């Protein structure tokens, strides 16, 4: 068992899986249920699924696909996308998903985090931050799948989310996402130092060395992998896979 969680992150659009680069140009990857079966065989410990269009189309979560995934998966599941009510969250948990990820709606109604945490437990609520570095090197906060800029101080906001009851932070660097260039280590370090809850680094992983770096240099509690687990390698075709567990153990448990 790895001390640091290494989590495949799948992007859902409609009934299909896609992969983006910098939150743009989604490319078709495959069927989510077949992909989940492969991760079962690979003995993955945890899985994250994000619906990238539910919020902007004001759609409900795709409960049909989520129920099929929960039924198929042997590992714990976390889901985010289009969750705007207590009933949405309740239905997701009833399906058998262990964690709900909240992003855009928490800007409209921050107390929604508290409402969910009080009922389902802090450990089940993940606050998701999408951050992009602008042309001048300044970090800016976005919601609605990277389409809406939020005028909040990032450090103050992440600390507020912890106080509101979020049990974890899913931190996505939009400028790194899908690039294979590595995580934004400086950004992850700043957020990790600002809160006492786990920070999950997302966006940019291209090698086991990138995983090691963000964990050891930025104190990431976990990492998610996108391109690395759906492609053979950069520029190559689709191949659902997972890094060699022994290699991960060697670099993360040393």
pTM of the model: 0.96
> Residue 106: pLDDT above 70?
yes
CA distance 170 to 202: 7
The model's pLDDT over 121-170, given as tens digits with 9 standing for 90+, comes to: 999 999 999 999 999 999 999 999 999 999 999 999 999 999 999 999 99
**pLDDT value for 235:** 86
Backbone angles phi, psi at 70, to 5 degrees: -60, -35
User: Could you tell me the domains of the chain?
Assistant: 5-252 (3.20.20.70)
Q: Predicted confidence band at 1 (pLDDT cuts at 50, 70, 90)? A: very low
Q: How far is CA 83 from CA 45, 89, 103, 214, in A?
A: 24, 6, 9, 29
pLDDT digits (tens, 9 = 90+) for 6-60: 999 999 999 999 999 999 999 999 999 999 999 999 999 999 999 999 999 999 9
Residue range 227-253, pLDDT digits in tens: 999 999 998 999 999 999 899 988 888
| pLDDT number for residue 109 | 98
**For residue 254, is pLDDT > 90?**
no
Question: Strands, DSSP E only, in 112-233?
Answer: 125-133, 139-143, 148-150, 168-173, 199-202, 222-225
| DSSP result, 214-243 | HHHHH--SEEEESHHHHBSSTTS-B-----
Cα(189)–Cα(214) distance, rounded to whole angstroms?
8
pLDDT digits (tens, 9 = 90+) for 146-157: 999 999 999 999
pLDDT at 2: 54
Catalytic residue among 130, 153, 184, 244: 130
Is residue 244 part of the annotated active site? The answer reads no
């Amino acid at each position: 068992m790895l001390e640091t969680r290494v989590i495949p992150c799948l992007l859902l659009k409609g009934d299909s899986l896609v992969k983006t680069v910098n939150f743009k140009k989604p490319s078709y990857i495959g069927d989510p249920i077949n992909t989940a079966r492969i991760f079962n065989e690979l003995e993955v410990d945890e899985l994250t699924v994000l619906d990238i269009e539910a919020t902007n189309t004001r759609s409900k979560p795709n409960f049909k696909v989520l129920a099929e995934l929960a039924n198929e998966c042997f590992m714990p599941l976390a889901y985010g996308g289009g969750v705007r009510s207590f009933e949405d969250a309740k239905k997701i948990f009833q399906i058998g998903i262990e964690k709900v990820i909240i992003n855009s709606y928490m800007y409209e109604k921050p107390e929604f985090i508290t409402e969910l945490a009080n009922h389902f437990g802090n450990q089940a609520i993940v606050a998701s931050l999408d951050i992009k570095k602008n042309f001048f090197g300044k970090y800016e906060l976005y919601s609605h799948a990277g389409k809406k800029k939020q005028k909040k101080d990032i450090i103050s906001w992440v600390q507020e989310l912890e106080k509101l009851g979020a049990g974890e932070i899913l931190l996505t660097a939009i400028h790194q996402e899908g690039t294979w260039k590595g995580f934004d280590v400086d950004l992850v370090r700043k957020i990790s130092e600002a809160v006492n809850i786990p920070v999950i680094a997302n966006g940019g992983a291209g090698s086991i060395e990138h995983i090691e770096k963000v964990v050891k240099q930025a104190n990431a509690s976990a990492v998610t992998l996108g391109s690395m687990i759906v492609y053979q390698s950069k520029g190559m075709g689709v191949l659902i896979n997972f890094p060699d567990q022994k290699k991960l153990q060697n670099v993360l448990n040393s």
